[in-house]
């Protein structure tokens, strides 16, 4: 499934890396594209949406 998430505190390339690593803790094969300018994160994964959101939140980011 593809998720398009808004992450308001996604600010820089280090944030992108942290969010990507967080998603990969849930699904190591997930495709993650994040843009700090638009604050958008797109995830293609077979993991549950709640698990992906929880991983991002646990990494210290807000999913709006």
- Residue 27's pLDDT band, with cuts at 50, 70 and 90, is very high
Kindly report whether the global pTM for this prediction surpasses the value 0.85. yes
Smallest CA-to-CA distance from 24 within 57, 2, 52, 58 is with 52
**How many C-beta neighbours within 10 Å does residue 5 have?**
20
Closest to 9 measured CA to CA, from 39, 49, 34, 41: 39
CATH, domain range 9-58: 3.30.70.100
> Would you kindly state where each structural domain of the chain is located, as residue ranges?
9-58
CA distance 36 to 11: 5
pLDDT digits (tens, 9 = 90+) for 8-20: 999 999 999 999 9
């Amino acid at each position: 499934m593809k998720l398009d998430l808004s992450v308001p505190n996604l600010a820089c390339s280090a944030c992108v890396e942290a969010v990507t690593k967080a998603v990969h803790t849930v699904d190591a094969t997930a495709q993650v594209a994040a843009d700090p300018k638009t604050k958008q994160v797109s995830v293609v994964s077979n993991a549950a949406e709640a698990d992906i959101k929880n991983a991002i939140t646990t990494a210290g980011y807000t999913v709006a």
